[in-house]
Amino acid sequence: VDRFITAIAATVGIPLIVLGYIRVGDALLDRLPERLHRWLRPYFWALPALAFAFVFMVYPTIRTIVISFENRDSTSFVGFRNYQYFFTFPDTLLSLRNTVLWLVFYTLGSVLLGLITAILLDRVKYESIAKIAIFLPMPMSAVAASVIWKFMFDYRPAGTTQTGTLNAAIGTVGAQPIAWLVNSTTNNPALIFIGVWMITGFCMVIISASLKSISPELLEAARIDGANEFRVVRMIVAPLLWPTITVVGTTMIIQALKQFDIVYVLTNGAYDTDVIATQMFRQLSTAGHYGRAAAVGVVLFIAIIPLLVINIRRFQQQEEMR
């Protein structure tokens, strides 16, 4: 009962506090000398947001970098030892390899499938209904999606009835059942596919919106000139979609680097499926080694820095066009 009261108090109370902050603060500022309140007012408005960003993002990021140079419980400085561990220990190197696999195949898979579905569905009358089907996994949690695919990948020993959809399907053509999530040649592709399955709808919706903005007259003119459909797509549609594809692609790269949920739920990194994010969580929770966990986090952060720069550049270009 207590929790309900706290939750309701927070839900109603916070907007009231923000309102009060604005009203009372503004009234107080009005009493100050003109020059002072002119100077102070913007900071007063931006303060709560900036404080949150600083306390929960900026400070911890700097602190994590410091912790990554310290020992297990952050009591002494150890130099690069945690990084040395990360780049020499087989388990952590494996997580690095798998994150690269995710980076390549998750990004390519989701962008390509998003592009293909957007282009194909643009040509049929039942476009909107088909889009719902492909978009459906998008609002789901990765936890629920993992449970869905746990049943798809279910494995029973050969000779018994296969209750997993995939093994039953390949059984109808006489193939032996596969332990999809255990076998180390199939499990990484299987996990990556779940990620692609979830996010393709997102890529499709964005690429499709950009596709609809291409003038139909342009395409028609090319067709009248005798270009076949593949040529139209390759020579006209693809170049016009390219800016959108790069935006979607960078978003997918960031998603790929941060992947945690699917791997954690389905294998928890076992059978050679560990990725950087699950490796870090294990160092943090199971091993309780803050220095190593922080170092893994920093490696992830360094991988994302180029994308951070790209994002800021793109933002600055947009600002110039405003």
Partner 1 sequence: MSGVAVETRPVTSQQAGTGNGIERLANRLGRLPLHVVIAIIVAVWLIPTIGLVVNSFRSVHDMTVAGWWTALFPPNGFTLDSYNSILGLEGFASSIVNSILITIPATVIQLAIATMGAYAFAWMRFPGRDLFFIIIVGLMVVPIQMTLIPILHMFAALGIAGSFLAVWLAHSGYGLPFEIFLLRNYLGGLPKEIFESAEVDGAGHAQKFLSLALPMTIPAIASLTIFVFLGIWNDLLVALTYMGSSPNRPMTVVITQAVTSLGQNWQFLTAAAIIQMALPLAVFIGLQRYFVRGITAGSVKG
Q: Give the footprint of partner 1 on residues 73-112 (CB under 8 A).
A: none
Cβ neighbors of 114 (< 8 A, separation 6 or more) are: 200, 201, 202, 203, 204, 206, 207, 248
CA distance 285 to 18: 36
CA distance 77 to 66: 9
Indicate which single residue of 28, 32, 46, 93 sits in contact with partner 1 (rule: CB under 8 A): 46
Stretch that binds partner 1, among 84-92, 97-105, 140-148, 181-189 (CB under 8 A): 140-148
Told to check if 271 binds partner 1 by CB under 8 A, we report: no
Give the number of other Cβ atoms within 10 Å of residue 56's Cβ: 10
Q: Looking at beta carbons only, is 188 or 266 nearer to partner 1?
A: 266
Residue type for position 146: S
- Report in angstroms how near the CB of residue 101 gets to partner 1 at its nearest: 18
Would you mind telling me the total number of residues written for the chain in this entry?
322
Q: Which of residues 144-183 bind partner 1 (CB under 8 A)?
A: 144, 146-152, 161-165, 168
Q: Looking at beta carbons only, is 139 or 174 nearer to partner 1?
A: 139
Cβ-in-10-Å burial (0-12, 13-18, 19+) of 151 comes to: exposed
Told to check if 41 binds partner 1 by CB under 8 A, we report: yes
Q: Where are the alpha helices (DSSP H) in the chain?
A: 2-31, 34-53, 59-67, 81-88, 90-101, 107-121, 127-135, 142-152, 165-171, 187-211, 216-224, 229-232, 238-258, 261-266, 276-285, 290-321
Q: Which of residues 207-266 bind partner 1 (CB under 8 A)?
A: 208-210, 212, 216, 219-220, 223, 244, 247-248, 251, 254, 257-258, 260-261, 264-266
Indicate which single residue of 143, 158, 218, 235 sits in contact with partner 1 (rule: CB under 8 A): 143
Binding flags for partner 1, 1-40, as an x/- string (CB under 8 A):
--xx-xx--xx--xx--xx--xx--x---x--------x-
Indicate which single residue of 28, 136, 235, 287 sits in contact with partner 1 (rule: CB under 8 A): 136
